[in-house]
Amino acid sequence: MSNLTLILPDIHLPYHDKYALANVFDMIEDVQPARIVQVGDLLDMKAPARWSKGKADEYCNSIANEAAHGQAFWEELSARAPYSELVWLAGNHEARLRAYVNDYAPALRDIVPSVADLMLLKNYGVKHITQQPWKIAPGVSAIHGKMLSSVAGSSARKEMLRHGTSIVQGHSHRLGVIYETTDRMRFALEAGWLGDIRKATYLDYPGVANWQSGFGYLYCSGNRVAPGVIPVFDKGRFSFNGKSY
């Protein structure tokens, strides 16, 4: 078992980059990380989005389809890395389902399954983190993230200053690590995303955004934690530990 923790970012199933995700699965099978943490927005949850209200997307019956994609994701991940600890932090897209029920169908609040239940996380041994920030490593907290900045790493830096720890996060779809030293050196890591930008139909300019495909990692040795990010290029290609995928 390695001392590697892999950070999987926003994927937005089923609007994911299929090439990138397939290559990430291959890499995971090769390296067998000690832990794999998906930091939220694994699912897109298009139907209950606030901007889908009253439009065709609200009635597209996509939740069951997205849940099935989530189940397939965890099933393959657990098969490829049977000894890795699997961890999931919910993101703002997964929160859409509960918000929708609370706003428009509160009488069903107690019987509508959670996203974790829809994805059958317990079947795949996935640890569901319900309180964020979550201690991912000594002196390091993992969150999905709320704040946004146009410079990669700066959103996580805001969270780093707010929480007083090094931060690993998703949400921004930006890829980068920045360091800052006050009483000690801390880092702020934004883990990119693995979605297909051609399927992000809500963008002002289709296919154009200041987002970077990629994912992150932590190497942990005692109290020493070394962060890094891996950019993903066209057709989902990237290199990790000297091997190309």
Q: What's the rounded mean pLDDT across residues 45-63?
A: 90
- Residue by residue, DSSP assigns 33-61 as -SEEEE-S-SB---TTSGGGTTSGGGGS-
Q: What is the mean pLDDT of the chain?
A: 95
pTM (predicted TM-score): 0.96
Give me the pLDDT at residue 60, please. Answer: 85
Closest CA to 91 of 135, 124, 128: 128
Q: What are phi and psi of 47, to 5 degrees?
A: -60, -45
pLDDT, tens digit (0-9, with 9 covering 90-100), for 93-122: 999 999 999 999 999 999 999 999 999 999
pLDDT, tens digit (0-9, with 9 covering 90-100), for 18-50: 999 999 999 999 999 999 999 999 999 999 998
Provide the domain limits for residue 10.
4-244
The count of domains in the chain is 1
pLDDT above 90 for 86:
yes
168 versus 58: the higher-pLDDT residue is 168
Assign residue 101 the CATH number of its domain: 3.60.21.10
pLDDT above 70 for 76:
yes
Q: Is 193 helix (H, G, I), strand (E, B) or coil?
A: strand
201 versus 77: the higher-pLDDT residue is 77
pLDDT, tens digit (0-9, with 9 covering 90-100), for 165-175: 999 999 999 99
How many CB atoms lie under 10 A from the CB of residue 92?
16
Give the whole-angstrom CA distance, residue 193 versus residue 215.
7
Q: Which two tokens stand for residue 75?
A: 């099933």
